[in-house]
């Protein structure tokens, strides 16, 4: 069984969205393969967990994925698991966790923080719109990741 860990700062939004989509696309991929297809287990964690953001749950439900059962966990809780892939989805997590004790392959793809939508270079948007925009970015990345790294497994 392949194991994926998604790391973010607060484990409240971006890593939760990615966990939901990675598991979703892995399950679809497994379903399309023979009974001997790879099984995938996806975890998410943060370097400073804040709890799952209700807007993350809401925007995923809008896309038919239930993450209401997800919990916000600290990265230290998973050091004993031999991950095949460790993905950081924000620069802060990458900086605070440059080394995660795993032999797994490391990936980094930074996504904007949907909880802080206003930035100097972009027009103001409300938080729900920001969550939807970031959700859509993570959805594309997650599908491409599964297609690239787990379709043949």
Active-site residues, by number, are 8, 90, 97
Rounded Cα–Cα distance for residues 90 and 116 (Å): 13
Rounded Cα–Cα distance for residues 130 and 132 (Å): 5
Burial of 116 (0-12, 13-18, 19+ CB in 10 A): exposed
Give the other-Cβ count within 10 Å of 10's Cβ. 22
């Amino acid at each position: 069984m392949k194991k994926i860990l998604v790391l973010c700062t607060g484990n409240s939004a971006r890593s939760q969205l990615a966990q939901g989509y990675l598991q979703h696309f892995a399950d679809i991929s497994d379903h399309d393969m023979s009974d001997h297809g790879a099984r995938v287990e996806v975890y998410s964690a943060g370097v400073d967990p804040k709890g799952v953001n209700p807007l993350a749950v809401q925007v995923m439900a809008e896309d038919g994925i239930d993450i209401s059962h997800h919990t916000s966990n600290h990265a230290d809780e998973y050091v004993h698991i031999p991950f095949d892939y460790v993905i950081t989805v924000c620069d802060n997590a990458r900086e605070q966790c440059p080394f995660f004790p795993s032999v797994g392959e490391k990936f980094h793809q930074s996504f904007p923080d949907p909880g802080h939508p206003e930035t100097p270079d972009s027009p103001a948007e409300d938080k729900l719109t920001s969550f939807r925009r970031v959700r859509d970015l993570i959805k594309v990345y997650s599908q491409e990741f599964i297609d690239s790294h787990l379709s043949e497994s």
